[in-house]
Structure formats: structure tokens, C-alpha cells
Homo-oligomer: A and B are copies of this chain.
């Protein structure tokens, strides 16, 4: 691994990114064909935020947040800082000072496959962060990593400039080039769900709305009055 900082990246289209934020992680993940989801151990430091932004990526060493400081310079309004690690780590690599710096540059959030700290302050500041852990454990600034290279973060491949959507359900990555199409697919899916929601709220059965009977029958589902009846 040659430590490198890449200055220029191609970001997903802003309008598409903003549209993705409306629909949230679960809908966007479905709209992509159930792809791009980070592992469910990624949780928000505080509940209730929903953001989408373009990824500025960092590949960092465990327990070392040097490259996060380096990356700040390359962040623009609308970005989300996405940090992958070279090895599993839960140290608190990000706290309120870095958050202050990112907010000053218009960054919308942080996604890190390690720990964060100062979570009470992050909540107060309204800066959202998704991480695998909360930990006060401090870090050093000793070993180089990279900025704006492709990284694996919580099991998902993230290229610089990709759209990243995060909320209470987790984090999903949309390749930059697919962002407009996925936003459109998400819009359709959401509209379609609205109709289903109304019918389900009115008491209709999903079994009927989705017309599941033929497939269930074909698959061999048996209905009995009592479990004992099965054994006859």
C-alpha cells in the first residue's frame, strides 16, 4: 500500500444525492437491487438523523486518526467522510473537534468502521456519525494511510464520490454513476409502498395485495386446523 492523497474525485450528482436522502436507507437499498449495504453493526451515535452525501474516503490504520485530519482539506459542502480501516478496531478515532472542523466545511456526516467519542457533544452539535463502536480510547498520529482511494468500509466497497445514505436503519452506498437511476427507482418504490400502506392500514391482507396464494400453494404450504391434524 502506497500512502497517497488523491485531490480530485468525481462526485455523484448533487440533486440525485439529495433525492436519496428523502427515501432513507431501506428504500434505497431495495431500489439498488438489495446491494451496497454496510454490515448492521454500523449504528448511529445518536438516533433520528437521515443524511445523504458524497463520499470522501479515508483508509486509516487502527487507533490512528492522522489521515482523518489530512482528509478534511479535501471535503466540500455535501460530502460525507467515510473511513475504512486496515484492521478491525473500535478506538474512538473521531470526536467533537474533528466534527467541528467538518461542520465548518459543510460536511454532512461521518461513517467510520471504528469507534467515535464525545457522542453527547456530537448529538448537541447535530453532527451525525455512524460507527461500529463508541469508545473514549484515544488515538495516535503515527502511521500513514490514504485519502480518496477505494476503501472497504463495514463490508461495502466505497469509491470516492459515491453517494452514501445513512439513517437509523444503517448505511448504504450508491455508486456515483448509478445515483440518479437509483433515486428514481427509490421514488417509484416509495410511491408504490404508499398505496400498499393505505390498503394494509385498511385491513387488507398482504397475502392478497401481493397475490401470494398461488405461489404458496405451488410451494406446497399446508393449512390445518390443529397441529395434530398434520400427523394423521
Contact = CB atoms under 8 A, between A and B. Distances in A.
A187 interface: no
Interface of A: 1-8, 24-26, 29-30, 32-35, 37, 39-40, 43, 47-48, 50, 61-63, 66, 69-70, 72-73, 86-92, 95-98, 100-101, 103-105, 115, 117-120, 133-138, 140-144, 148-150, 152, 155-157, 167-170, 172, 193, 196-197, 200-203, 205-207, 210, 212, 215-216, 219-227, 230
Contact of A136 (B29, B96, B196): B29
25 contacts: A3-B222, A5-B223, A5-B224, A8-B226, A24-B118, A24-B120, A25-B136, A26-B92, A26-B118, A37-B136, A40-B133, A43-B134, A63-B87, A69-B212, A70-B221, A72-B205, A72-B207, A88-B90, A97-B200, A100-B201, A104-B203, A135-B169, A140-B142, A141-B215, A144-B219
A135 B100 contact: no
Nearest to A133: B40
What number of copies of this chain does the assembly contain?
6
A77 B147 CA distance: 38
Contacts of A219: 3, 143-144
A4 B222 contact: yes
Contacts of A118: 24, 26, 169
B26 A221 contact: no
B148 A225 contact: no
B152 A155 contact: yes
Contacts of A103: 201
A107 to B, nearest CB: 12
Given A6-B224, A104-B202, A225-B6, A169 B119 contact: yes
B1 A169 contact: no
B137 A37 contact: yes
Contacts of A156: 152
A138 B37 CA distance: 10
Nearest to A198: B100
Given A24-B120, A119-B169, 14 more contacts: A1-B35, A3-B219, A4-B222, A34-B138, A37-B136, A62-B63, A72-B206, A72-B207, A87-B91, A97-B197, A101-B201, A144-B216, A149-B227, A152-B157
